[in-house]
Amino acid sequence: MPSIPVFCGKDCGGNACPLTATLENGRVTHVANNPAAGKYLLGCSRGYNLPSELYAPDRVLQPLIRVGERGSGRFRAASWEEALRLIADRLADVRAKFGAGAVLNLSSAGSTSALHGTGPLLRRFLNLYGGATRCTGSYSTGASQFVLPYLFGNQWKTSGFDAATMQYAEMIVLWGANVLEARLGTEINARLLEAARRGAQIVAIDPRRTRTAQKTGAWWIPCRPGADAALMLAVLYLLLKDDRVDRAFVAAHSTGFEQLEAYILGQDGGQARTPRWAEPLCGVSAEEITRFARAYAAAKPAMLLPGYSIQRVYAGEEPYRLAVALQLITGNFGKLGGSTGSLNNRLPGPRVGMLPVPAVPNQPSVPVTRWPDAVLEGRSGGYPEELHAIYSVGGNYLNQGAQITKNIAALQKVDFAVCHEIFLTPTARYCDVVLPAAHALEKEDIGLPWAGNFLTYKPQAVPPRGGARTDYDILCDLAERLGFGAQFSEGRTAAQWVQHFLDQSEVPDHDAFRRSGFYIAPDQERVGLADFTRDPTAHPLSTPSGLVEIASERYGRETGFPAIPTWQTPPQDERYPLLLITPKSPHRTHSQGSNLAEIRRKAAHALDMHPTDAAARGIGDGDQVRLFNAAGVAQVAVRLCHALAPGVVCLPEGVWVELDGDGLDTAGAANMFTCTQGTAPATACIMHGVGVQVSRCPAHIGS
């Protein structure tokens, strides 16, 4: 049976994994790893599940126009002509009455690629429309992306590492990085497992003993969510007291370390940040902190890989500042087998063309975490526009944004909402028009890996099912109706754009790339900021000092927060004593696939709870419980779990919300309990360390 190269394009941390699709009688029957990519660049179940999505019986295959109340799920089928005319008329009307900024761009990374990437596509369309209100920041890495430029300047974008360099590490510290499930790049999983087999010390600092920790035989240090900064400060304290600081290296490459040292040692008039101080905050004994700090100091080189989870907490900016400080003072910064403590994917990929997005002067914007507040409050709440319409492509914002009840209210308030979708998601149910989008296997494109120095390619494996169309073709038609069709398409079909991108690329043999679906660049062992590390005078950073700014006076001046990283005590409400974490499922990408029975069967959705916490509440394994806080309430089954820190409960994110008439979520959607307030100063999302309470449901509930 013939097979062709493909990639899934999902925003899972791999997103351009080299795969192949087997075709039989015009249908895709199987997806597997692409042998042309070798033994390290491997996909996962998210990509292997592509045929289940493609042929799912509940796919949206024709335009839908709402006929019931928003959220009711009542739609009627419409022709493309009617649906596009309605959308164009409503967008033109909003622009004429209120200006282009009255439309909120809710694009996201439901599909990531050179042409059909949903985020750039809708930004290009709406910017040419006149400049819709855009969302700034990121649900994924909002706090870290905000703070890292203060440490590294513009070079924060090149501060990561290639996964192949993990082979040189003596110790790999996964600080909140559950890479085998959440994935931080296509190659990193195989490289981590290989490092464990050769005897590198793997350390997993996480509230859960994750699958990553289990499969690598990692030293598990169960730090409470939101307390990573306290643990980091205590480790720094021990390194200082034990005189394990490479002071010459620190002096040559950074500024402000003396201020941080005074804070940690209590020489600034404050409390010393000792392991005994940290113990009640992070839930790790002083003895364990000491043991780890000394093992970390002795390991050369040591790679510290901070996960996204440690910055999706209250004061999530601080752990990334401290991760950089840890790698600096141990001399592991910018070294082969070490890391800078930054996001691992901060390195450029191979040169290739991408869809350009025109800039809009003075474009209104809102932090993505607070998009529903911007809709609900408008200018009276300090936001730049009164928002009357929402255009959503590649994002299930109602479900995946913080505080679902507020998201629902926002979607109910706007005059008009439209989305492109494959399924009738919770967000789609609140839209006025739903347009059927083509699936990843129904589009030709070039894959841009989240991390790694390679490219992938896929032809159109099969034609779009039913009446589905690509987002590009949909937006071309709408742009034509709104008067900017030539500017949007530049006269190119989708296939011509793909060829144009290849013509701009470094790929030497286009035909070979199309046949194999894979191009790998020559350098596969890049170390972020290596030139700066070797010679900081010849290769200075673009910070005010030209060095890594452990103390950033600019940060203090612009944000009002301390110039150095500090411990900020999270707010606590005694009514909600348990700390909720909302990790990724290994079987789906966020909410994508949550509706598919085949994926649901792989892991029953449940609230993981430590037996001691359950026993204190009279809860047994499998019991139905009421999970609640001030933001919302859900009913969900409990699964007892010893591989979880006491005081912590775990509910994987992504399950589609299902509200009954009383506002109770019967599905167990994690964002029923999160809040749009966000961190400060980044205004980034807080998805872990959320205070909740759990009580056993009466026997008749749910029976």
Class of domain 578-696 as given by CATH: mainly beta
CB 669 within 8 A of CB 659: no
pLDDT in tens, 103-112: 999 999 888 9
**How many other CB atoms are there within 10 angstroms of residue 546's CB atom?**
15
The arithmetic mean of pLDDT across residues 210-229, rounded, is 98
- Three-state helix/strand/coil letters over 126-175: HHHHCCCEEEECCCCCHHHHHHHHHHHHHHHHHCCECHHHHHHCCEEEEE
Per-residue pLDDT of 538-595, as tens digits, reads 999 999 999 999 999 999 999 999 999 999 999 999 999 999 999 999 888 899 989 9
Q: Which amino acid appears at position 658 of this protein?
A: E
CA distance 404 to 691: 16
Residue-wise pLDDT for 269-309, tens only, equals 999 999 999 999 999 999 999 999 999 999 999 999 999 99
Judge whether residue 321 has pLDDT over 70: yes
Q: Quick one: pLDDT at residue 487?
A: 98
Tokens of 688: 């872990």
Q: How many C-beta atoms surround the C-beta of residue 45 within 10 A?
A: 13
Angle of the 286-298 helix axis to the 228-241 helix axis, nearest 10: 60
CB–CB of 670/656 below 8 Å? Answer: no
Q: What is the mean pLDDT of residues 320-324?
A: 98
Phi, psi at 337, each rounded to 5°? 90, -5
Strand 607-609 to 648-650 pairing: antiparallel
User: Is the pLDDT reported for residue 701 higher than 70?
Assistant: no
Pairwise CA distance, residues 53 & 57, whole Å: 9
Phi and psi (nearest 5°) for 445?
-170, 175
Task: Dump pLDDT digits (tens) for 144-179.
Answer: 999 999 999 999 999 999 999 999 999 999 999 999
Neighbours of 449 (CB within 10 A): 24
pTM of the model: 0.96
Bridge partners (DSSP) listed for residue 366: 135
What per-residue confidence (pLDDT) applies to 297? 98
610 and 646 Cβ atoms separated by less than 8 Å: yes
480: CB partners within 8 A, 6+ apart: none
Of 42, 55, 5, the residue nearest 444 (C-alpha): 5
Q: Is 640 left (phi over 0), alpha (psi -120 to 50) or beta?
A: beta
Concatenate the DSSP letters of all residues of 545-585 into one string: TSSEESS-HHHHHHHSS-SS----PPP--TT--EEEE-PPP
Identify whether the C-beta of residue 419 lies closer than 8 Å to the C-beta of residue 55. no
pLDDT of residue 228: 98
Cα–Cα distance, 317 to 175 (Å, whole number)? 14
**Mean pLDDT of the region 240-269:** 97
- Mean pLDDT for 602-629 is 97
Domain boundaries, the chain: 64-134+365-520, 143-347+529-559, 578-696
Q: What percent of the chain has pLDDT over 70?
A: 99
Cα–Cα–Cα angle for 110, 114, 117, nearest 5°? 20
**Do the beta carbons of residue 481 and residue 90 sit within 8 Å?**
no
What is the maximal distance between C-alpha atoms in the chain? 75
603 in Cβ contact with 654 (< 8 Å):
no
**143-347+529-559 is a CATH 3.40.228.10 domain:** yes
- Asked if 229 and 318 touch (Cβ cutoff 8 Å), the reply is yes
SS3 195: helix
- When pLDDT is averaged across residues 460-470 and rounded to a whole number, the result is 98
pLDDT (tens digit per residue) in 52-87: 999 999 999 999 999 999 999 999 999 999 999 999
Tell me the pLDDT band of 663, cut-offs 50, 70 and 90.
Answer: very high
Beta strand 171-175 with 302-306 is: parallel
What percentage of residues in the chain have a pLDDT greater than 90? 95
Mean pLDDT over the full length of the chain:
96
Q: pLDDT value at position 699?
A: 65
CATH architecture assignment, domain 64-134+365-520: 3-Layer(aba) Sandwich (3.40)
Q: pLDDT tens digit string along 502-548? A: 999 999 999 999 999 999 999 999 999 999 999 999 999 999 999 99
Mean pLDDT of 382-411: 98
